[in-house]
């Protein structure tokens, strides 16, 4: 399956990215099918070939969540942005607290 993803370029601590189309499971610095443009996150500048990006999306390529959000921001595709960062799992943490409290009360009541 093809994916539209970032390929990191630039110096240390001065990242810039190429936007490429490549196999989803291939290495980022390996072969790629097409080069769609570039993006510099420090300045917010970038250039994306919207026609080619639209073509690859219609053919069946999926974009990574960060690239999807960039395409939405640039107006190439429409739709909501995707949450990129995972949310904390509060339910498991709450369950551990409840279990530890019940263990404490059982040990105190048995004494």
Pick the CATH number of 1-111 from 3.30.1320.10, 3.30.70.120, 3.40.50.12280, 3.40.309.10: 3.30.1320.10
Nearest partner of 73 among 45, 95, 102, 106, judged by Cα: 45
What is the pTM for the complete model shown? 0.72
pLDDT tens profile 71-101:
999 999 999 999 888 777 776 656 566 566 6
CB contact at 8 A, 77 and 17:
no
How far, in Å, CA of 85 to CA of 65, rounded?
A: 10
pLDDT of 35: 95
Collect contacts of 12-19 with beta carbons under 8 A, ≥24 apart: 14/42, 15/41, 15/42, 16/40, 16/41, 16/42, 17/41, 19/48, 19/53, 19/67, 19/70
């Amino acid at each position: 399956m093809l994916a539209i993803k970032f390929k990191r370029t630039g110096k240390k601590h001065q990242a810039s990215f190429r936007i490429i189309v490549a196999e989803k499971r291939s290495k980022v610095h390996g072969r790629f099918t097409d080069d769609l443009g570039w993006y510099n996150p420090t300045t917010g500048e970038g250039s994306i070939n919207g026609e080619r990006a639209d073509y690859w999306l219609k053919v069946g390529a999926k974009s990574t969540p960060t690239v999807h959000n960039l395409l939405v921001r640039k107006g190439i595709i429409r739709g909501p942005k995707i949450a990129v960062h995972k949310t904390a799992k509060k339910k498991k943490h709450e369950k551990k607290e409840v279990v530890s409290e019940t263990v404490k009360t059982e040990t105190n009541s048995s004494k």
